Structure 1
Amino acid sequence: MIDHHHIDLSDDFPVDCDDPLLRQLMNRRRMLVSGMLGAFSVYALVHEARAAAPALDSRLPARQWIDRQEELAQGLRSGAVSEKSWHDEVNRLAKEVDIASLVAEIRRARVKPAGQRFMGDPIKRKIRFRDENGMPMKLAYTAATFTFDPSHVITPHGHKHMASAHMVIDGKVRVRTFDRVGEKDGALIIRPTGDHVTGPGGAAPMTTAIDNIHWFTPETQSATTFDVIISNLDPGQDAFLIQPVDPLGGEKQKDGTIIAPLMSFEASMDQYPSTK
Structure 2
Amino acid sequence: MQLNEYCSDLKKRSITVTEWQSFIAKLYNKIELTELLKFIEFEKLTQGFDYPDLGVNTRKVFFPKLSGLPEKTVFVKKIFGMKKDRAIIPHGHSNMASAHLILQGEMHLRHYEKLGQEDQNLIIKPTIDRIAQIGDNSSISDEKDNVHWFVANTDTAFTFDVIMLDLNNKPYDIHNLDIYEKQDLHNGTLRVPMLDVNTALTKYGKQHH
In the superposition, the TM-score normalised over structure 1's length comes to: 0.69
Query: How far does residue 248 in structure 1 lie from its aligned partner after superposition?
Result: 2.3
Quote the residue 2:206 is aligned against.
274
Aligned pairs (5 A) from 1:66-215: 67-107=1-41, 120-132=54-66, 137-215=71-149
| 2:188 aligned with 1:251 | no
Q: CA deviation at 1:123?
A: 2.0
SS of 1:128's equivalent in the other structure is: coil
Q: Which structure shows the bigger proportion of residues in strand conformation?
A: 2
Higher relative contact order (CA 8 A, sep 6+): 2
Larger radius of gyration: 1
Within-5 A mapping of 1:7-22: none
- Alignment partner of 1:200: what SS? coil
Distance 1:180-1:215 versus aligned 2 partners, 3 A rule: same
Q: Which one-letter code corresponds to 1:255 in the other structure?
A: N
AA in 1 matched with 2:76: T
Amino acid of the residue matched to residue 152 of structure 1?
R
The 2-side partners of 1:162 and 1:91 are apart by 17
3-state SS, counterpart of residue 145 of structure 2: coil
Question: Is the 2:51–2:83 contact (alpha carbons within 8 Å) kept by the matching residues of 1?
Answer: no
After TM superposition, what 4+ stretches of structure 1 lie above 4 angstroms from structure 2?
108-112, 116-119
What is the count of residue pairs matched by the alignment? 205
1:188-237 CA-partner distances (Å, limit 9, x unpaired): 001100111111211110000111110011011111100001102121x3
Deviation at residue 152 of structure 1 after TM alignment: 2.4
Which segments of 5 or more consecutive residues in structure 1 lack a partner in the other structure? 1-66
Q: Secondary structure at the match of 2:91?
A: strand
Q: Is the 8 Å Cα contact of residues 178 and 194 (structure 1) preserved in structure 2?
A: yes
- 1:57 alignment partner in structure 2: none
Change (3 A) 1:108 1:246: closer
Task: Give 2:173's aligned residue.
Answer: 241
Q: CA deviation at 1:117?
A: 8.2
Is 1:265 paired with 2:187? no
Tell me the alpha carbon deviations over residues 149-186 of structure 1, each in whole angstroms, 9 at most, x when there is no partner.
11521110011111111110111111100001000021
Counterpart of 2:115, as a letter, is: V
Provide the rounded CA distance (Å) in 2 between the counterparts of 1:124 and 1:177: 21
- Which ranges of structure 2 fall in alignment gaps of 5 or more residues? none
Residues 109-156 of structure 1 show CA distances to partners (whole Å, capped at 9, x for unaligned) of: 9969xxx987612220001102226x9831011110011111521110
**1:220 partner letter:** T
Change (3 A) 1:118 1:81: farther
